[in-house]
Amino acid sequence: MSILCGLPLLECVYCLACARWAWKRCLHTAGHDSETWGLATAEEFEPVPRLCRYILAVYEEDLRRPLWEPPGGYGINPDWLVLRKTYEDTQGRAPSYILYLDHDHADIVLAFRGLNLAKESDYQVLLDNKLGKKKFDGGYVHNGLLKAAGWVLDAECDVLKELVEKYPNYTLTFAGHSLGSGVAAMLALVVVRHQDKLGNIDRRRIRCYAIAPARCMSLNLAVRYADVINSVVLQDDFLPRTATPLEDIFKSLFCLPCLLCLRCMRDTCIPEEKMLKDPRRLYAPGRLYHIVERKPFRLGRFPPVVRTAVPVDGRFEHIVLSCNATSDHAIIWIEREAQRALDLMLEKDHIMEIPPKQRMERQQTLVREHNEEHKAALQRAVSLSVPHAYAPSEYGTFDVFEHSEDSHKSTGETSDGSSGKSKSKESWNDLIERLFDKDESGHMLLKKSLRDD
């Protein structure tokens, strides 16, 4: 046709299509991902910069003589530090972490550091996974991160249970950055499923903050646990947007920009409906907080704005072609911008001079709005045919699933009505490895009933 008409029509159409794609991709900025989300409030965002500083404190060898203390300090009282585990203590099974008893904020904090590029064990945790390798709670999770979380719980279960029972009004918070964010999210997942292992802790006392989160769980789990897990993303951060498995990312660490560009081109050609219906595809977990501080075609940083939502579709599905994609992943920058954003929120509240009574009413309204938003996200997941997603019951968000679990547990009781005790204590890793399976009809079944010693 091009020869007959004397014009390269097919070539022109192809070039125009490529130019249109390149134009759209170059114009796509991080602000587009969250432009329809609501603004976060100071009350809900207050823990974020504080927990970022706790994570930074994990990198210190001696908190009484800090070497890399940020402006204003870590905000940690060394006398309240319960324990600190290094790579030698964990034997490479999990990243370094600290357990801190925060009396000022009535919080028990377990904080994990991010990926250590010099530690081969961290790469082994990331590489221990394949797409669809590990099932958990009706979805899929990252196998290596789940094993690391199981090791930590097995090691610290007694200490955590003692603290939870000793301080019944304190919250239990898991926090981590990058690799540590995945371990923290898996910890929250397992603890929520087995609250009896920590003294029947109430679900509302359990929190998780995944800073620069890894994509570690399937969409149905990411939405279902949005009332417990919170993910914080700074502007153009590449990791929450990269659907490439973590093991492939860090295999190609030294040519990461090339990998991101190729993945960007590939994902553009895949319809989002197809992505949503892939049960093995992993996502950033829980409720998302997006810190936006730059605008397209403008130089410099602007006053940061924090937007939040529990999205189902449009959940950071497109990589942003930006020179800040890797620098926005740094915990130092996230802490600085999160603190700036919080200061602006508090300044705005101070200018408005909100009375204490109205402030309490606003907090209650915020909790109610978050619950309604969470239920709406669960409903939308069902309407979009997300695999293994189910709508909340009229009596509670998780009544259906928990009732199913209780019915399976009751089948494991002895004939005289007593549950009995197991002959030996099961480790968390063994528990995770053999807990869940599917029968031929696709329903989740417990392989063995759980019994306390």
pTM over 0.85? The answer is no
- Is 298 within the bounds of a domain? yes
CATH label of the domain that carries residue 227: 3.40.50.1820
- Is 62 within the bounds of a domain? yes
- Is 95 within the bounds of a domain? yes
Per-residue pLDDT of the chain (453 residues; tens, 9 = 90+): 445 555 577 667 667 666 655 555 555 566 678 889 999 999 999 999 999 999 999 999 999 999 989 988 999 999 999 999 999 999 999 999 999 999 999 999 999 999 998 898 998 898 888 888 899 999 999 999 999 999 999 999 999 999 999 999 999 999 999 999 999 999 999 999 999 889 899 999 999 999 999 999 999 999 999 999 999 999 989 889 876 555 555 555 445 556 556 555 555 556 666 677 788 889 999 999 999 988 765 666 789 999 999 999 878 877 777 788 889 999 999 999 999 999 999 998 776 666 776 777 778 888 889 999 999 999 989 888 888 888 776 554 444 444 444 434 433 333 343 344 343 444 555 555 554 444 434 444 444 433 444
pLDDT of residue 362: 76
pLDDT of residue 1: 46
- Is 257 within the bounds of a domain? no
- Is 165 within the bounds of a domain? yes
- Is 19 within the bounds of a domain? no
3-state secondary structure the chain: CHHHHCCCHHHHHHHHHHHHHHHHHHHCCHHHHCCCCEECCHHHHCHHHHHHHHHHHCCCCCCCCCCCCCCCCCCCCHHHEEEEECHHHHCCCCCCEEEEEECCCCEEEEEECCCCCCCHHHHHHHHCCCCCCEEECCEEECHHHHHHHHHHHHHHHHHHHHHHHHCCCCEEEEEEECHHHHHHHHHHHHHHHCHHHHCCCCHHHEEEEEECCCCCEEHHHHHHCCCCEEEEEECCCCHHHCCCCHHHHHHCHHHHHHHHHHHHHHHHCCCHHHHHCCCCCEECCCEEEEEECCCCCCCCCCCCEEEEECCCCCCCCCCCCCCCCCHHHCHHHHHHHHHHHHHHHHHHHHHHCCCHHHHHHHHHHHHHHHHHHHHHHHHHHHHCCCCCCCCCECCECCHHHHHHHHHHHHHCCCCCCCCCCCCCCCCHHHHHHHCEEECCCCCEEECCCCCCC
- Is 105 within the bounds of a domain? yes
What is the tally of structural domains in the chain? Answer: 1
The parent domain of residue 176 ranges over 34-245+272-384
Report the C-alpha dihedral over residues 38, 40, 41, 43, rounded to 10 degrees: 140
- Is 157 within the bounds of a domain? yes
pLDDT of residue 89: 95
